Amino acid sequence: MWAIGESLERRNLFFKLGYFCDSCICCRVSPSQKMQIVQLAKENGPWITLAIGDGANDVSMIQEAHIGVGIAGKEGTQAVQCADYALGQFRFLQRLLLVHGRWGYRRISWFVCYYFYKNITVVITELCFAFMNGLSGQIYFLDWLPMLYNAFWTSWPCMFTFIFEQDLNDDEALTYAGTYHIGQKGQYFTYRVFWSWLGFSVWHGLVCFWVPFQGLLFAVNSKGLDSGLWWISTVSFTVIIHVITLKLFAESMHWTKMNM
């Protein structure tokens, strides 16, 4: 392997040699050299690296990679303790990547976009009201409604939906392994996808504010009294909860008894 100060040209040549091969075997390398191979791969491309090992001599390599996988076996537990995932046998790596890896990538991509979406939606309504009251500082919602927004009102639907969400079942994911390339190409989390979610959040926030505000602005109760701000804002908050929950179900591909 290369020493400190080795020329960049030789490093790139070594990487290209391994890249154009179907497989590359590095025999009798030290733990630090294993780590350097992973570093070289990380420096020469945008891809996600994975390192898998079963012994203490694989620890540095596992920690250097984006994703570390340890195999529990006769070599001890050092690799398992420092890894992100632990497997009992090497053959389980296929299912970890092609099934759970696909599911996990789609879930976390959707999770990030949706959480930005639902929080921006509720903020847009309060922002609209701030301009309506001349930036006086008057709050739009009752204090306890926004406090429970993420803690209770929107947490349970998200939890059960994201836990069980899957676009393909496990058998289909293993049969059509080419679908794994979606994650490698990063198609579920792009600038276009992210900003489309933000666009929906602004649009839905405006709708959730103006429809109740204009519809109930001059509403009166049975005694002829003005219904007041809290009645309008509570209706607006209720509309928000329904809109973002329907958006969650509309984007979901796998409905179960738990998330319904």
- What are the tens digits of pLDDT across the range 239-257? 999 999 999 999 988 887 7
pLDDT tens digits, one per residue of 90-130: 999 999 999 999 999 999 999 999 999 999 999 999 999 99
Last residue of a domain, one of 33, 55, 88: 88
Residue 260 has a pLDDT of 64
Higher pLDDT, 217 or 79: 79
Q: Cα–Cα distance between 254 and 137 in angstroms, integer?
A: 43
End residue of a domain, out of 88, 108, 142: 88
pLDDT at 5 over 80: no
Amino acid, single-letter form, for residue 134 = G
SS3 76: strand
Residues 62 and 130 in one domain: no
Please indicate, yes or no, if residue 257 is contained in any of the structural domains: no
The confidence score (pLDDT) of residue 132 equals: 84
Listed as own residue / partner, the contacts of 163-166 with beta carbons closer than 8 Å and 24 or more positions apart are 163/258, 164/254, 164/256, 164/258, 164/259, 165/103, 165/106, 165/107, 165/110, 165/252, 165/253, 165/254, 166/103, 166/106, 166/253, 166/254
Instruction: Classify residue 115 as left (phi > 0), alpha (psi -120 to 50) or beta.
Output: alpha
pLDDT score for 192: 94
Alpha-helical regions (H) of the chain: 8-19, 31-43, 59-64, 78-82, 93-95, 102-132, 144-147, 155-164, 170-175, 181-184, 191-216, 229-251
pLDDT, position 222: 61
The angle, 0 to 180 degrees and rounded to 10, between the axes of the packed helices 191-216 and 102-132 is: 40
Task: State mean pLDDT over 186-209.
Answer: 94
Q: What is the pLDDT of residues 17-63, one digit of tens each?
A: 888 888 888 888 899 999 999 999 998 888 889 999 988 899 999 99
Q: Is 145 found in the same domain as 36? A: no
Tokens of 102: 């696909």
As a whole-number percent, the residues of the chain with pLDDT over 70 amount to 93
Does 33 fall in a domain? yes
Q: What is the pTM of this model?
A: 0.82
* Whether 20 and 126 share a structural domain: no
Same domain, 202 and 123: yes
Which of 88, 107, 128 is a domain's end point? Answer: 88
pLDDT of residue 1 exceeding 60: no
Q: Which residue has the higher pLDDT, 204 or 181?
A: 204
CA distances from 68 to 46, 75, 101 (A): 17, 16, 13
- Both structure tokens of 203: 């649009």
- Among the listed residues 190, 187, 188, 207, the one whose alpha carbon sits nearest the alpha carbon of residue 247: 207
115 with 242, same domain: the answer is: yes
In which domain, by residue range, is 126 found?
A: 94-251
Task: Answer whether residue 167 is part of any domain.
Answer: yes
Domain count, the chain: 2
Shared domain check, 143 and 230? yes
Q: Based on the fold, state whether residues 84 and 137 are members of the same structural domain.
A: no
**231 and 170, same structural domain?**
yes
**CA 193: distance to chain centroid?**
13
Same domain for 100 and 179, yes or no, is yes
12 in a structural domain: yes
